Structure 1
């Protein structure tokens, strides 16, 4: 009897453990996409800096977003279409650095992958309860790029590498500014890349490259918590879609309170004008009806 129970528990645990053998595991190598014009992913930036604290005693080596000591969730949102065209929204809660990058896009490999993980917002119904948003970094030599392209390469300062201890911050102002140069994203249904690799994730990939210097890369790898990449998985029959990327930047670098006040005032005035015209139309209609009744009575 004991051996039967042991066998059942073993089979059950194997069914739960999906890493490397599930139907839609991550990561994958993107070689082809279906272009959907109406697919959109909107990234809403409101915080200047997102602070992450290293999560202890985990194999995934994640950083948890926090505004220590209150540990509030940052005002950053991912809203858009999932691989099957459903509207979804995710509220980021943690992020992860992977070196080298797990994903490949059109046979291109990357030196570093930043994955921002988020939980599904309550207003949306979706079988996938988490979202993973990936950004890709590649070491670029400034001198070599100038010789080849005869142009200077801009290196956006995305990470604050001067912080000590178990903290790492993402500069959302620079991240948003760099993303405004691009307008595409790729999405597919995948999995977590830690624990039991649960297939509960919509993966969103930003296919453009963030250049970093060798010194920046060395500092990240030597001083910060880095995850090892998982092996590439089979795509199988998954739907891989490319859509339009929209950036809504309300960080302090682009936020103008006067402009916001005037915009809200104009919207309020517009609603008031529409309401006033509606009331006027109803009164005119009532007056005409009364005039018709008066004439018919005579």
Structure 2
């Protein structure tokens, strides 16, 4: 999440050479992303940290402009229109929406399980510039939305339908000025259960990895289609994947009182099983490469990436 780091040779810093990332990326003590172990999360029943529900204002029809940054696909809010505002929950004050972008595979993991894709909706504390926000521990707030893949179904209007239509025009990262306008309902990119989430203090997941982010990781993934997922995976972002490796979970992770895990039900358990099944189906074509790459992701294996597709 955040801007890409470009060394002098012009190449983008990908997961394979994170050890070369500068500043807090190596020296920081509260880095992101992390593996959220649900059994270790703290349910904030009495509102000591999560003070009331999250409040979403103006997230309906938002004017955005899309671009391929060379590391991800990003949709920036148009400056001449009203921007959505997020408040409540773990946030102290208002946060203005700036942009959202995509990572594949997911950056965060839940109970050790990665998802095929993750959406980051970036907000800056209202009244601050991005440069100013990067100097404050509470400068940024990011909603992270995990995506699970289901088989294509013509009768299902999947969450990324409108975005997928734009992808062919954003395929090439070397094409200058490929910015495309769109009006989008940002609620479509979020879980229907927006008050069910995990939250912790962490960092940007690209250099300089400043530890200024209040992370709000939605508990329930959204559903995207298999063809959508494959389409995004074909986008040129300087490598096959554009996520950062997991960092130590050396801090408190809170769970909202609206979490379905607080009172697990048979339906919730079924949803978890379906999520695992869908992830396996989406990667079965990669065969042994899926196992090899999982080893590399979770255990920082130094072997070359297996490309079985």
TM class by shorter chain equals 0.5 to 0.7
Q: TM-score, normalising length from structure 1?
A: 0.61
- How big is each residue's C-alpha offset from its partner over 1:9-41, in whole Å with a ceiling of 9 and x where there is no partner? xxxxx9x70114411000000002111133232
**Distance in 1, Cα, partners of 2:204 & 2:67:** 18
Instruction: Say whether residues 1:197 and 2:209 are aligned partners.
Output: yes
Counterpart position of 1:133 = 143
Q: TM-score, normalising length from structure 2?
A: 0.59
Aligned CA RMSD, in angstroms, stands at: 3.4
217, 220, 235: which is aligned to 2:249?
Answer: 235
Q: How many residues align structurally?
A: 214
**Distance in 2, Cα, partners of 1:224 & 1:172:** 26
Q: How far off is 1:51 after superposition?
A: 1.7
Where structure 1 has 5 or more consecutive residues not aligned to the other structure, the ranges are: 1-13, 144-151, 247-298
Counterpart position of 1:72 = 80
Q: How far off is 1:242 after superposition?
A: 1.4
Counterpart position of 1:30 = 36
Question: Equivalences for 1:146-185 in 2 at 5 Å?
Answer: 155-157=158-160, 159-163=162-166, 164-165=169-170, 166=178, 167=180, 169=182, 171-172=184-185, 175=188, 179-181=191-193, 183-185=195-197
- How big is each residue's C-alpha offset from its partner over 1:232-255, in whole Å with a ceiling of 9 and x where there is no partner? 00011x121112569xxxxxxxxx
Q: How far off is 1:64 after superposition?
A: 4.8
**Distance in 2, Cα, partners of 1:245 & 1:41:** 11
Rg (Cα) greater in structure: 1
Greater fraction strand? 1
Greater fraction helix? 1
Instruction: Say whether residues 1:97 and 2:109 are aligned partners.
Output: no
Counterpart position of 2:117 = 112
**Distance in 1, Cα, partners of 2:258 & 2:74:** 25
